[in-house]
Structure 1
Amino acid sequence: MTLDRTPGAASARSVSGNGEDGNVRNSADGPFERFLRTIGWLAGAVVLLVLATLDVAVNAVQPIVVLLAIAVAVVMPRLRAATLGTGVLVLGAFLVLVALTVPSVDYGIVPFGFTVAVVGVVLIGLAAWRAEPVRAGFAVPLLLAGLVLQPTRLGNAKAAVVLALVIALGGVITSAAGLYLRMYQTNRHRQLIAAQQAQRTGIASDLHDYVAHHVTGMVVLAQAAQTVAASKPQAVLPALERIEAAGDEAMTAIRRMVTLLREPDAHARLSPPGTIADIAALAGHFTSDSGLQVRLSIEGEADTVPIDVQSAVHRVVMESLTNVRKHAGEARTLDILVRCHGRPAAVTVEVSNDGRGRGGGRSPDGGYGLKGLHERTAALGGSFTAGPRVPEGWTVQAHIPTRGAR
């Protein structure tokens, strides 16, 4: 193998995984999230304490009612979606029943205290956000109606109208906020599902490419071992060892990928994606396995290329080498050229051979391998071509921009 790097080319280096491969982590909240949650609970406790003190000070309501309101405020946010909806529904029905059946009494400032009013309005927003949708559809308007009807039991009609309007406005605002949070979370969940599905589809494509690559190499080595078995029996053992190693690598890749396909939220990690620096080792293995002369040239600063583009370039080379094994048995030389343009703004990879067979395999519209490369480069905003070259041979070429890639 001939390795030709221009002066500006980056040196090869090993790539280690950083654990950030696009998988969604279900880890515990970090210190900052826990700090915000603690601040929120403290702020809520202070507000409840102030409201309770105000209710008791002005004799607006009995202390037992204040304590019940505080208990509801503490318990309700911890309930599951279905239980929360049922609880709010029962509370709303109770308030409506009280407003319609209990006779009017001179309660002073408000009929049931500031604490109950504020807790009820907050529960409306909480139910609109987190309660089970069907229950929330009944619970939110029922609780809002129960709160708005309470001021009608006041002796002062003017004060009753003002309080009812204030409570109604607060309930509408909190319910709108809850609905916004519900839609936001639903949208995030849909995006998460779509990302996981796209990742699973990519893993399935990778599974095909890895297996095709390793199995093709095993077949070539087995055929070579059979050819030289009679004349050079000493060459059979190294070939068998390489077949065993390729089989182990293929099985390892299959196990990891199938694990991710079965458990999209699992913490299993694939090996680090192939990079431009890894192409040298890929070409070296191909040379030792096939005996072809491989000329590799990498131009430009490969280290600055985003990892998605590097992985796609590596995949183009790997699939091209697999197709050469399958369809270009008479090839003598193989050229791999990787150009990183404009610091780089784009990367071009070209793999060509001088074989008489269809060294590129099927067309992008007809075969799984090249079709997968066509889809991968198109997803990154690039272009992909594969076809015969003059006077003989086959060329695979991909041009991938780096803008917007990760």
Structure 2
Amino acid sequence: MKGRGSLSGWVGFAVDAGLGVGFAAALAFQAYRIADSWGGAYWQFGCVAGAVMCGLALVRRRGRLWAAIAGLAVAAVAIVVARLAGLPSEPGPAMALGLSVLVGSAVRVLPAWRAGAVAAGGGAVVAGGLLAAFVFSTGSVVAVLNGAAWLAALVAGLGPRLLAARRRAMADRVRRNERLVLARELHDVVAHHITSIVLQAQAGQLLARKQPHTAEGSLADIEAAGSDALAATRRVVGLLRDATENSNDNDKTHSAEQLGELVKRFDGHGLVVRLSLPDGESGWPPEVARTLYRVVQESLTNISRHAPNARHVTVTVTVARDQDAVRVQVVDDAPPGVTPYPHRGGYGLIGMRERVEALGGTLSVGPRRGAGWSVLATLPIATAASVSGRR
């Protein structure tokens, strides 16, 4: 950090040194041209005013707003004095160069309304110079050059400002997307595994009262579920520490076998869960397989948590006839009036919809006719393949 600060200081010093050389050259050129065309000591006022403006430009970093205001005031006074005293048109080349540096610097870094005020003040100075030149029919070329310098200052200030704003917006968007991804992963991991532990603990309590000799097996199941939860949590924490280190875990395809294991975790704990898969190997893109797995996981978790009266759940995975999309539907038989997807306080449905829509798919969630709820997700394969390719 110290080295970076020193480098920035040297760059600023080099820029100011270059500006100083440019200002000196502009002042010398202005004095020479006025002395050559006007004669006498007409060059003195313009050079003094230009030197003051250039000095303000060199110390602008100490207070960009006040330096710009002082520069605008010097330019306005110089225009009035030059017209009343019959002197060469102002702002002259040196003053125009210094003023453009002040305006450009202010537009680049000051807050929006202050930057706009400084830019407007520079425009007023230019307009005043043009008006004086046309009224007195002198110095029109100088006035036009002043206008060009003001426009150049706006471009030089607005360009980096807009670029920095764009970079900030991109960084904010990336951070927001990362937060959403991590929020979904944390929700999926924590909600699913803890729900599984709770269900097995409840079943273990019942077995302990009715069949004490089976309690050991229930405790082993709870221990296994806790170990799975810990391992999954570590993977998510790894994403926070080093995304590249865990890219393989993140991109791991969830197979039909893993989907079957997921269903088995919920089957037998008060629920009868049946899984129907298409024949043959899926060969789906990783994003499709992962999203399909998460939809089923979230659906079963919500049924277990919020629809305790449901007894049967069916998970059906099908492929469209033209092989361009995969559909997964999860239906339960919860009594009417019971919803496994609370409208408030939960993020599972939001995360599920975000996952599906990120692949260009659709998600439909709602009550079935008669009893139960249905979750239907359609995932286009071609769109997901292009997403996986970009990753």
User: Structure 2-normalised TM-score?
Assistant: 0.62
Whether the aligned pair in 2 keeps the contact of 1:207 and 1:253 (CA below 8 Å) is no
Cα distance in 2 between the residues matched to 1:52 and 1:254 = 61
Q: Which residue of 2 aligns with 1:97?
A: 77
SS at match of 2:376: strand
SS at match of 1:315: helix
Cα distance in 2 between the residues matched to 1:276 and 1:128 = 49
Q: CA deviation at 1:222?
A: 0.9
Whether the aligned pair in 1 keeps the contact of 2:189 and 2:233 (CA below 8 Å) is no
Q: Which residue of 2 aligns with 1:165?
A: 144
Q: CA deviation at 1:400?
A: 2.4
Cα distance in 2 between the residues matched to 1:231 and 1:388 = 41
Q: Which residue of 2 aligns with 1:242?
A: 224
2:326 paired residue among 348, 354, 360: 348
Partner AA of 1:166 in structure 2 = L
Give yes or no for the alignment of 1:52 onto 2:24.
yes
Q: Which residue of 2 aligns with 1:128?
A: 107
Whether the aligned pair in 2 keeps the contact of 1:85 and 1:135 (CA below 8 Å) is yes
1:146-295 pair list within 5 angstroms? 146=125, 158-172=137-151, 174-175=153-154, 178=157, 207-229=186-208, 230-245=212-227, 248=230, 277-279=253-255, 280-281=257-258, 283-287=260-264, 290=267
Q: Which residue of 1 aligns with 2:35?
A: none
SS at match of 2:220: helix
- Alignment coverage as a number of residue pairs: 347
Cα distance in 2 between the residues matched to 1:98 and 1:234 = 95
Cα distance in 2 between the residues matched to 1:389 and 1:363 = 12
Whether the aligned pair in 1 keeps the contact of 2:78 and 2:91 (CA below 8 Å) is no
Partner AA of 2:328 in structure 1 = E
Give yes or no for the alignment of 1:140 onto 2:119.
yes
Q: Which residue of 2 aligns with 1:117?
A: 96
SS at match of 1:232: helix
Identify unmatched segments of 5+ residues in structure 2: 33-42
Higher RCO structure, 1 or 2 (CA under 8 Å, sep 6+): 1
1:302 paired residue among 256, 280, 284: 284
Partner AA of 1:100 in structure 2 = V
Whether the aligned pair in 1 keeps the contact of 2:16 and 2:58 (CA below 8 Å) is no
Give yes or no for the alignment of 1:362 onto 2:339.
yes
SS at match of 1:278: coil
Q: CA deviation at 1:210?
A: 3.6
Q: Which residue of 2 aligns with 1:400?
A: 379
Per-residue deviation, residues 124-181 of structure 1 (Å, max 9, x unmatched):
3343343223333433333444466679999xx5542221133124324543674576
Cα distance in 2 between the residues matched to 1:352 and 1:145 = 68
Cα distance in 1 between the residues matched to 2:110 and 2:57 = 15
Whether the aligned pair in 1 keeps the contact of 2:361 and 2:378 (CA below 8 Å) is yes
Whether the aligned pair in 2 keeps the contact of 1:352 and 1:393 (CA below 8 Å) is no
Q: Which has the larger radius of gyration?
A: 2
Cα distance in 1 between the residues matched to 2:233 and 2:158 = 48
Cα distance in 2 between the residues matched to 1:275 and 1:349 = 21
Whether the aligned pair in 1 keeps the contact of 2:53 and 2:71 (CA below 8 Å) is no
SS at match of 1:314: helix
Give yes or no for the alignment of 1:88 onto 2:68.
yes
Q: CA deviation at 1:221?
A: 1.6
Closer, same or farther: CA 387–58 of 1 in aligned 2, 3 Å: closer
SS at match of 1:399: strand
Q: CA deviation at 1:66?
A: 7.0
SS at match of 2:139: helix
Which shows bigger deviation, 309-318 or 194-203?
Answer: 194-203
1:325-340 pair list within 5 angstroms? 325=304, 327=307, 330-331=311-312, 337=317, 339=319
Per-residue deviation, residues 165-205 of structure 1 (Å, max 9, x unmatched):
33124324543674576567657756765775676566556
What is the root-mean-square deviation of aligned Cα atoms in Å?
A: 5.4
Cα distance in 2 between the residues matched to 1:197 and 1:165 = 47
Q: CA deviation at 1:104?
A: 3.8
Cα distance in 2 between the residues matched to 1:256 and 1:143 = 53
Closer, same or farther: CA 217–152 of 1 in aligned 2, 3 Å: closer
Whether the aligned pair in 2 keeps the contact of 1:217 and 1:289 (CA below 8 Å) is yes
SS at match of 2:378: strand
Partner AA of 1:403 in structure 2 = T
Partner AA of 1:244 in structure 2 = G
Closer, same or farther: CA 137–50 of 1 in aligned 2, 3 Å: closer
Partner AA of 1:120 in structure 2 = L
Cα distance in 1 between the residues matched to 2:366 and 2:19 = 73
Whether the aligned pair in 1 keeps the contact of 2:56 and 2:71 (CA below 8 Å) is no
